[in-house]
Structure 1
Amino acid sequence: MRDQIAAFLSQPAVLIGWLGVSFACVGVLLWDFRRANPEIGRLMKVVWALTVLYSGPVGLLVYWMTGRKQIARDTIWRRGWRSTAHCYSGCGMGEIVGLVLAVGILALGTVPTALVTFAFAFTFGILLTLGPLMHDGVPFGEAMQDSLVSETASIVMMEVVAIGVDLWLAGGAGLGDVLFWTAMMTSLTLGLFAAWPVNVALVRFGVKEGMHDPREMAKA
């Protein structure tokens, strides 16, 4: 099964098609920000843009169903998706940087690649929560503790799945191989899905608040 999936993902047409669809989805997102949801905060606009860039139509669907002020009502399931997207935007960036560094520059083996990639993903994910807290005046120590408590479980689940799938599909691929990039996009999206129930649980048990209801942001 792995060989069949890898063979499909190794086709240049798959990469070109996915990139075309993803950029088109980002265009739709930006159009919606401008025409229908200008009230969405700057940080969440960046979060949604990265989510859609990583996962194309999947990311756009998550935004459309959970991140717009036009949703009929908010639910814990929608809050969970918004929280997951927030985590995903930072972790995804860290994972891409980590993989490019570990594989393309340092040419590390499988285990070091996994460790370096996880370290970058974890750091970027935490920083995306830490930065806004400190911007709001929370002291560094308290902000770091809050970030670690609220994000660690989500990041670990997301990256165990994403890195594991990526190495399983493209463990021997280099930066010049189509499979390196298509496997990365596939694994990132699977990590998004894997982290969602974790974020729902974290919100339900009060470990994290989840991102605000977009309808309330519009009213404000």
Structure 2
Amino acid sequence: MTFHTALQDVLTNPALLAAWAVLVVASLTTLAVDIRRNNSGIAPLMKFVWGLTVCYSGPLGLAIYWYSGRPSIPEDTDARRAFRSVAHCYSGCGAGEVIGVVVTAGILALETPFVIAGTFACAYALGYALTVGPLMQEGVGFVEAARDALLTETPSITVMEVTAISVDVWLAGEATMGEPLFWSALLVSLTIGLAVAYPVNYLLVTRGVKEGMQNPKDAAA
């Protein structure tokens, strides 16, 4: 049995999938309770970001929130700002990737090159939208907001999606929407994309290209 086949077997094991579902539900519940009790002052966008991050990556997403997204963090370091930054990118790109894969591979059953192209397009569109939209709400013009999004988000989106889509295509193969592998491979690919994109976001934060989203301490003040 090859590593590829063994990994596919793990990702389709009913007991493991059930255990993962329980962990995700428990993580989402913990997140919701903590935000309501201790972190209700954060921006609605970040509540959305953390919800999707935990939905995609379960306990790992919750750990990232606990480390970088709560007002009780002792110091807002570059590492924490980078985690908030990558979570922001992850939520939008992840939603785009899910939509892209479901539509192109699941519904339309397109060939792999078209699945890749369509998924990339959706990931970029939603990733940029999550930056452009809030900036325009703050009064920034569309052209300036789009330019800012291109500068700050393109490196992270590119690294995240090249990794995630490649892993998903490699793992899921010809799996259809009715097969567990279609969904489990998608979640694994998203989480690997998150991990690979974190160093990129850390570099962008330390170089002053990205700010790392709002300090949760400020939101609670």
Q: Which residue of 1 aligns with 2:121?
A: 119
Alignment counterpart, residue 199 of structure 1, candidates 181, 191, 201:
201
Q: Which residue of 1 aligns with 2:5?
A: 3
Q: After superposition, where does 1:103-142 map in structure 2 within 5 Å?
A: 103-142=105-144
Alignment counterpart, residue 161 of structure 1, candidates 160, 163, 170:
163
TM-score (norm 2): 0.97
User: Cα offset for 1:143?
Assistant: 0.5
Which digits, 9 at most, give the CA deviation of each residue in 1:4-24, with x for residues without a partner? 101110123332222221111
Question: Matched residue of 2:200: which SS?
Answer: helix
Structure 1: which 5+ residue stretches go unaligned? Answer: none
Counterpart of 2:158, as a letter, is V
Q: Which residue of 1 aligns with 2:38?
A: 36
Q: Report the RMSD for the aligned CA atoms in angstroms.
A: 0.9
Structure 2: which 5+ residue stretches go unaligned? Answer: none
Q: After superposition, where does 1:166-185 map in structure 2 within 5 Å?
A: 166-185=168-187
The separation in 1 between residues aligned to 2:9 and 2:23, in whole angstroms, is 21
Q: Which residue of 2 aligns with 1:98?
A: 100
| Count of aligned pairs between the two proteins | 219
Which digits, 9 at most, give the CA deviation of each residue in 1:154-201, with x for residues without a partner? 000000111111111111111011111111111111111111110111
User: Cα offset for 1:107?
Assistant: 0.7
The separation in 2 between residues aligned to 1:37 and 1:208, in whole angstroms, is 23
Percent identical pairs in the alignment equals 52
Do the aligned residues in 2 keep the contact of 1:15 with 1:181 (CA within 8 Å)? no
User: Cα offset for 1:203?
Assistant: 1.1
Q: Which residue of 1 aligns with 2:19?
A: 17
Counterpart of 2:68, as a letter, is T
The separation in 2 between residues aligned to 1:209 and 1:74, in whole angstroms, is 12
User: Cα offset for 1:105?
Assistant: 1.5
Alignment counterpart, residue 145 of structure 1, candidates 147, 150, 163:
147
The separation in 1 between residues aligned to 2:129 and 2:21, in whole angstroms, is 27
Q: Which residue of 2 aligns with 1:76?
A: 78
